Amino acid sequence: MITIRSISSAELEAWAHISDRPDRFLERGIRSRWDSGSSRPEWCFLAEQGDRTVGRLAFAADPTASILPDLEFKILGLWLDWDREPLAVGAELLDHTLSAVLPPGRQTVDAWANPEYMEHADMRRALFERAGFALFQEKEGFAWRRDADDAAPVAPDRHERLVFHSIQEVGEDALAAVMARGIQGTLDRHDRHYRDLVGPAAWGREMLGYLAPGDAPSWLLATTPDGQDVGYVLLGEFDQPGRATIIHIGVVPEQRGYGYSGDLLRAANRAARDRGFDMILSDVDVQNPPMMAAMERSGHHADASPWHVWHYRLTRG
């Protein structure tokens, strides 16, 4: 007999540290969401069987976009007793909690599996599929490491084709306008989905919401020497000191086919060095082979990290 219940605010620390391999920063992240109102204690659940804890998960809800009224729910902190019928327990936990949390009407719920920091990624995927989630996107992780790049053979000098300008130099409106053009024809499924929801121009402005303090020098707009817009690359700090990520990268349609993605990625590598980062961890939709190839050519390698994201989505109502 499994009992499923919400936790109290006093139980958060114990809830976050049930697993032998707790999610990074889980307690701090959930508490921050409680403070912001995007989650709450009654959305954090335990599954118990007698005196044993056999499952845990939480929900958060974020706006789909700043200009849209609806919310998207996310599953966070999922843990199961992976040695004792995890799929059966997980299915019961999901069924109970989804019914308890989701309001009436059409709702979406997102869940992820990633072997980099989530144990039993394959069983998580099986659980989501059993519960009716569909694969929304699959992304391969790429890692650039400063020490490996510094040790690589020096390539012959290459004429610098592009001029790079930070968002501080060009302003938010100019960068957002180029991002709106660069998103056209994207092969990334996630980006296509949100571009289609809000439109390219609004999508470019939405991306400005990811600009964090300290990242402005490495949010770069690229032009030709005579001032024609080519594209952009946005480098930001990731989840720990010394680690960065490419938040987004794009080339405007009329400049594609000239290998400019490589120039943008090399600019990101230089920006990472300038900011003192030792590593860039980024991911690319597996349905975007041109960008995956550009990453490899620019020193970002898939075999350098176990990062791989399966992003699942459930739509109800």
CA 219/CA 200 separation, integer angstroms: 19
Question: With the C-alpha atoms ordered 265, 266, 272, 274, is the resulting torsion angle positive or negative?
Answer: negative
Domains of the chain plus CATH, in order, are 3-132 (3.40.630.30), 142-307 (3.40.630.30)
Q: pLDDT tens digit string along 181-221?
A: 999 999 999 999 999 999 999 999 999 999 999 999 999 99
In whole numbers, what is the pLDDT of the chain averaged over residues? 94
Token representation of residue 312: 């699942």
Q: pLDDT tens digit string along 300-316?
A: 999 999 999 999 999 99
Mean pLDDT (whole number) for 62-76: 94
End-to-end CA distance of the chain: 29
Give the pTM. 0.94
CA 195 to chain centre: 16
Q: pLDDT tens digit string along 218-241?
A: 999 999 999 999 999 999 999 878
pLDDT band at 50 (very low <50, low <70, confident <90, very high): very high
Residue 28 vs residue 22, higher pLDDT: 28
Closest among 47, 48, 46, 77 to 60, alpha carbons compared: 77
Q: pLDDT tens digit string along 141-158?
A: 999 999 988 777 655 545
Q: pLDDT tens digit string along 245-268?
A: 999 999 999 999 999 999 999 999
Per DSSP, the three-state class of 304 is: helix
pLDDT at residue number 157: 47
Q: Is the pLDDT of residue 23 over 70?
A: no
Q: pLDDT tens digit string along 73-131?
A: 999 999 999 999 999 999 999 999 999 999 999 999 999 999 998 999 999 999 999 99
pLDDT at residue number 265: 97
pLDDT at residue number 28: 92
145 sits in the region (left: phi over 0; alpha: psi -120 to 50; else beta) called: beta
pLDDT at residue number 22: 56
CA 220/CA 284 separation, integer angstroms: 19
**Helix crossing, 86-101 with 121-130: angle to 10°?**
50
CA 308/CA 292 separation, integer angstroms: 13
Q: pLDDT tens digit string along 157-180?
A: 455 799 999 999 999 999 999 999
Closest among 189, 196, 263, 254 to 233, alpha carbons compared: 263
Give residues with Cβ within 8 angstroms of 79, minimum separation 6: 18, 19, 23, 55, 56, 57
